Amino acid sequence: MTIAEKRQSLLDELSPFEDPHERFQYIIDRAKTAPGLAAQYRIPELLIEGCTSNLWLYPEFKDGLCIFRADADSVITKGIATLVCEFYSDATPAEVLAAEADFLGSVGITQHLSPNRRNGLSNLVAKIHAFARHCAG
């Protein structure tokens, strides 16, 4: 699935929730079933700075594709980070660098985040892009 297709799929998944509280509850429920990271990856080197809660990003580069997994000690942070990781995973570095996680704003997620959580989200996307730049060589 291309990033454009993933964007549309995520929009389709999140758009039916008109109430922001229902949308966040869906993201929280989704986070509860999402796989976390093993303790060996929940280390200071993988922490995303500027977030209200602890947020870890584990990036990999396999067979020419970037793969991202995240975990957090807050379910809302984990849920949003998981959406972002799903969006960017299994894409080439060039595709990752060409894409912004704007679908979050399109469905009203970023507008309802605290400034600290928005900052953490920006830092997460920046780390993902930095990893893709590194992989692009």
Amino acid, single-letter form, for residue 60: E
For 53-88, what is each residue's pLDDT tens digit? 899 999 999 999 999 999 999 999 999 999 999 999
The Cα 71–Cα 58 span in angstroms is 9
Angle, to 10 degrees, between the axis of helix 20-33 and the axis of helix 3-14? 120
C-alpha distance from residue 127 to each of 3, 5, 24, 29 (Å): 18, 22, 24, 25
The Cα 24–Cα 64 span in angstroms is 33
pTM for the whole structure? 0.93
Residue 108 pLDDT exceeds 80: yes
Tell me the domains of the chain and their CATH numbers.
3-136 (3.90.1010.10)
For 9-53, what is each residue's pLDDT tens digit? 999 999 898 898 999 999 999 999 999 999 999 999 999 988 778
